[in-house]
Every structure is written in C-alpha cells, then in structure tokens.
Structure 1
C-alpha cells in the first residue's frame, strides 16, 4: 500500500475525524432547518395582512396625534402646558410613513441571502478543517506514531507532505460535496419559503466564485491547523494558538485600539480580512474624520480591504506556518 493511500485511510478511519465532520454537518443542517422555519413565501394573503396592519397602525397613530392635540389645547394656561410643544404644533403622520412592506413576514430571497449562507458555510467548515488537521498530525506526534512511521519510511519531508496532501484532498472532497448540497438546500428553501428572483447566469457565476473562495479558506484553515500542531508536536498547540489569537489577541487588540482611537482598527483584526476575502471587499470607515460633501453631509474617511489583499495575507500566513513545520520536521530530533 502506498504512503498516500495509507494516510488517506488513516484520516478517514479516525473516530475524531468522523465525529467532528458529522458535528459540522449537523450544525449546517440546523442552519438550513432554522432558515426554513423562520421564513415564508410571500403571496397575496401575506400582502393583504401586511397592508391591513400598516393601515391599522396609521389610523391608530393619527388618532393618537389628534388626542394629543386635544390634550395640548386643554392644557393651555395650566402647569401641564410645558409638557406639549409650543402652540400645539403636533404634526400628524402621513400614510406613506407606514409602508406595507415593513409588515411583511421574513422571506428568503436567494439572490440577497445566499452570500451570507455561503459565509456561514465557510466559517463552520473552516473551523472543522482546522481542528481535524491539527488532530490528524498532532495525535501522531503525541502517541509516538510519527516516530514508528519514520522507521518504516525515513524520508521526513515526504511523510509530512503526504499527510498534508491526504488531509487537503479529503477536506476538498468534503467541502465540494457539502457546498453542492448546501446550495441545493437553499435553492429549495427559496422555492418553498422565499423567491429566486434575479438569479441570472451572472449571479450564479458570482456565487460559484464565492464558494470557490470558501473552499480556499477551508483548505487554508486545515493546513494551518496541521502546521501548528506539527510545530508543537501536539494537537493542543494548534488549539492553544487559535484560542490565543481569537480571545487574547483579537479582543485585547480591539479594546486597545478602541481606547487609543486608532484609525481603521479593522486592519488589525482577522475577522474583517476573512469578510473581505469572502465578500470580495470590506470598507472600513473612520467616523472621527468628517469630510463635508457638496450637500454639507459628513463623509467619513474610508479604506477598502480587497479580496486580493486578504488572499495575499492568507498566503503569507500559510507559507510561514507550513514552511516552519516542514523546516522543523527536517531539522529537529524526532525523539
């Protein structure tokens, strides 16, 4: 049996891999069910109900305004007059202030809502890939399996790179299949509990590219978990770094940047780079700056993080972590 086939079999057969993959799929299934149950298809009946509610609220608001005017006029010349506007200038609402669409039930528009669902999909599978990748190699180090494997196949870099390749191929298969099911599930949700208005070939192509970026994000997460666990020779190394980055570094840095009133603090926070990667761009705004436009409106300074910038950052981090893991595999004592 080849080394790659052996590593693929080891990855697939591991109980931890199965449990975590199933857990991630159950979370995604729960999201689909939740979206299905909290949305409904809008038809003539729902429009009629929403219109009736809007008109009822309009009439109630008009009646309240008239009552307030009556109370104001009755209070003139008394101590209660100060509780009302001068000269009882109380403006009644107009019917246009109560739009029927504001009373519509939640409905799932595929074109508008699927991007958020793809981002959710990417986040869940990226987390699963990170933990599975860390455990896949970390367990080998902590149990002594890596040392035994190297007795059979003493080429260190070949062993580690084959393990990484088996992980990435397995994660790719899981992600591609799940992405297809994910898209089909929300197509069904839109058909039964929403709409598919505006779904042109260009929109589908955009969603396909977004899912491709989701695949890249999942693969990078898996490789980072693998690399960190290999560096520390234990699964806990990768998990500890992840917790440190998320809890200590991100929240701590965010608090410090807020106190220091740093311009564009999003540049120092990882989640916004991930958002830029998935959504093609993220625009940070500095509300402390005020640039008046031609109408006298305050326009804050902006800085856009593009998907190319975010992709470059992901590539640099990936090369550093995986490169360090390969270098230490070659140089450090295995025992």
Structure 2
C-alpha cells in the first residue's frame, strides 16, 4: 500500500476525525434549521398586512404629533413653553417615514443573505480543519508513531509532505461536498421561506467565488494547525497557540492599541483580515481624524483592506508555518 493511501485511510478512520466532522454537521444543521424556522415567505396577504400596519403606524404618529402641536400652542405664554420647540416648529411625519418593509416578517433573500451563510460555513469548517489537522500529526508525534513510520519510510520530508497533502486533499473534498449541500439547502430555504429573485449568472458566479475563498481559508487553517502541531510535536501546541492568539494577542493587543489610539487598529487584528478575504474588502476608519467637506461634513480617514491583501497575508502565513515545520522535520532529532 502506498504511503498516501495509508495516510488517507488513517485520517478517515480516526475516531477523532469522525467526532469533529460529526459535530460540524450538527452545528451546520442547527444553523440551517434555525434560519428555516425564523423566516417565512412573504405572500400577497403578508405584504398587504405590512402595508396596513405601516399606514396605521403613520396615522398614529400623525395624531400624536398633532396633539403635541396643540399642547405646544396651548403652553405658549406659560412656564411650560420652554418644554417645546420655539414657535412650535414640530415636523409632521410623512407616509414615506413608514416603510412597509419594516413591518414584514423575516424572509430569507438568497442573493443578499447567502454570502453570510458561506462565511458561517467557512468559520465552522476552519475550526474543525484546524483541530483535525493538529491532531492528525500531533497524535503521531506524541505516541511515537512518527518514529515507527520513519523506520518504514526514512525520507522525512516526503513523509511529512504526504501527510500534509493527505490532509489538504481530504479537507478539500469535505469542504466542496458540504458547500454544495449548503448551497442546495439554503436555496430550498429561500424558495420555501423567502425569495430567490435576482439570481443571475453574475450572482451565481459571485457566490462561487465566495465559496472558493472559503475553501482557501479552510485549507490554510488546516495547514497551520498541522504545521504548528508538527513544530511542537504535540496537538496541544497548536491548540495553545490558537488560544494564545485569540485571548492574548487579539483581545490584549486590541485593548492596548485602542488605549494608544493607534490609527487603523483593524490592521493588527486577524478577524478583520478574514472579513476582508470573505467579503472582498473591509474599510477601516480613523475617527480621530476629520476631513471636512462642505457637502459631507466631517469625514474620517479610511483604509481599505482588499481581498487581495488578505490573500497575500494568508499565503505568507501558510508558507511560514509549513516551511518551519518542514525545516524542523529535517533538522531536529526525531527521538
């Protein structure tokens, strides 16, 4: 049996892999069920009721405002006059202030809402891929299985590279299959509890590209978890780094740079780079600055993190962690 086939079989058969994939499926199923139950299709009756509710709210607001104007006029020349605007200049509401859409029940718009669901899928799978990737190699280092494997295949880099390739191929297959199912499920939800209007070829292409970026994010997190566990030769190394990055680096650093009033603090925080990667861009704003404009007033300085910039950051992270893992595999003593 080839090394790749043996590693694929070991990865797929591991109870740890099955457990976390099963947990991911349960989480995703719960999310889909929640979206289905919390939305409903807007039929003619629902639309008519929303328009009626908007009209009723307008009439009530108009009556309340007229009553307030009458009270203001009656208070003129008394001590209570200061409680009202000068000359009773109170603006009356208009029907346009009460949009019937505000009175509609939640309805799932596939074109507008599904990209957010792709990000949710990517987040869940990224966490699972990171943990499985770390455990896949970390457990072998901890148990001594890596040493035994190198007796059979003494080429260190080939062994570690094959393990990583096995992980990435399996992760790709899982992500592609789940993304296809995820898309089909939410398209059904949109048909049953919302709308699929506006789904042109361009809209489908945009969703496809978003899912490709989701795949890239999942693959990078899997490789980083694998690489960190290999460097530390224990699964706990990768988990410890993840906790340290989230708790110490992100929250701690976020608090420090906020107190220091650093310009564009988002540049130092990973979630904003992930957001930019999945949503094409993130616009950071510096509210300590003011660019005055006669038409727009005071506007802050902005800096846009593009998906290309985020992609370069993910590529560098992948290359550094995997490169160091390969270097330590070649240079350090196995025992």
Equivalent positions of 1:1-335 (< 5 A) are: 1-335=1-335
User: Which stretch shifts more, 75-84 or 304-313?
Assistant: 75-84
3-state secondary structure, aligned to 2:263 = coil
- C-alpha displacement of 1:295: 1.4
3-state secondary structure, aligned to 2:41 = coil
CA distance in 2, matches of 1:34, 1:140: 39
- C-alpha displacement of 1:294: 4.6
Deviation string for 1:220-254 (max 9, x for gaps)? Answer: 10000000000011111001001111111011111
3-state secondary structure, aligned to 1:262 = coil
- C-alpha displacement of 1:78: 3.8
- C-alpha displacement of 1:257: 1.3
CA distance in 2, matches of 1:85, 1:298: 27
CA distance in 2, matches of 1:99, 1:158: 63
3-state secondary structure, aligned to 2:251 = helix
- C-alpha displacement of 1:327: 0.8
CA distance in 2, matches of 1:58, 1:209: 43
CA distance in 2, matches of 1:89, 1:210: 51
- C-alpha displacement of 1:285: 1.4
Identify if the C-alpha distance between structure 1 residues 256 and 201 changes in structure 2 by more than 3 Å, giving closer, same or farther. same
3-state secondary structure, aligned to 1:282 = strand
- C-alpha displacement of 1:114: 1.1
Deviation string for 1:130-159 (max 9, x for gaps)? Answer: 000001111111111111111222211111
Coordinate RMSD, CA, aligned: 1.3
CA distance in 2, matches of 1:99, 1:210: 32
- C-alpha displacement of 1:39: 1.2
Identify if the C-alpha distance between structure 1 residues 296 and 184 changes in structure 2 by more than 3 Å, giving closer, same or farther. closer
Q: What stretches of structure 1 of length at least 5 have no aligned partner?
A: none
CA distance in 2, matches of 1:49, 1:18: 48
3-state secondary structure, aligned to 2:304 = strand
Using the size of structure 1 for normalisation, the TM-score is 0.96
CA distance in 2, matches of 1:95, 1:204: 36
- C-alpha displacement of 1:129: 0.3
Matched length? 335
3-state secondary structure, aligned to 2:192 = helix
Identify if the C-alpha distance between structure 1 residues 12 and 296 changes in structure 2 by more than 3 Å, giving closer, same or farther. closer
3-state secondary structure, aligned to 1:91 = coil
- C-alpha displacement of 1:165: 1.0
User: Which stretch shifts more, 172-181 or 271-280?
Assistant: 271-280
Deviation string for 1:186-219 (max 9, x for gaps)? Answer: 1101111111111111111111111111111111
Using the size of structure 2 for normalisation, the TM-score is 0.96
CA distance in 2, matches of 1:217, 1:233: 24
CA distance in 2, matches of 1:258, 1:222: 31
3-state secondary structure, aligned to 1:284 = strand
User: Which stretch shifts more, 131-140 or 256-265?
Assistant: 256-265
